[in-house]
Amino acid sequence: MSADYKMLAERYIATWNSPAEERAARMEDVLAADVFYADPIVAVRGHAELAAYIERTMSRFDGMRFSVPGAVDGHHDQMRFVWHIGPPGAGPAFTGLDVALVEGPRITAVYGFFDRYGFFD
């Protein structure tokens, strides 16, 4: 099952990295319609609200990309994984951890944590 969680986490992160015009289709594929997302900055529900937050985040970190650098741990329809964001080919500018709830092939909730709190300073 961990391979399935790894693939799901990578598909989720690809949603963040995708151009805005592709994001809706990717969200439809990987996230429940009423997905809940919370991190130290926001709490949003649904594709539209999350897409708006992703757009704000990615415009703030123009040219940077998210990645899942290691293993994804999961059990009982939940998973956790470390993420990095930084310029392609360089080390991470910021790191964090997400815990996600999963139902079937889609994520129903994501709880994000930042390792470095200067994320939006």
Domains of the chain are 2-114 (3.10.450.50)
Quote the distance between the C-alpha of residue 22 and its chain's center: 15
Backbone angles phi, psi at 51, to 5 degrees: -60, -40
State the pLDDT at residue 117. Answer: 53
Distances (CA, A) of 18 to 63, 76, 117: 12, 29, 24
Using DSSP's 3-state secondary structure scheme, residue 118 falls into coil
- Residue 29, φ and ψ in degrees, nearest 5: -75, -35
Compute how many other C-beta atoms are within 10 angstroms of the C-beta atom of residue 13: 20
For residue 53, which of 66, 39, 73 has the smallest C-alpha distance?
Answer: 39
Which residues are 43's β-sheet partners? 38
pLDDT in tens, the chain (121 residues): 456 999 999 999 999 999 999 999 999 999 999 999 999 999 999 999 999 999 999 999 989 999 999 999 999 999 999 999 999 988 888 999 999 999 999 999 999 999 865 555 5
CB 99 within 8 Å of CB 111: yes
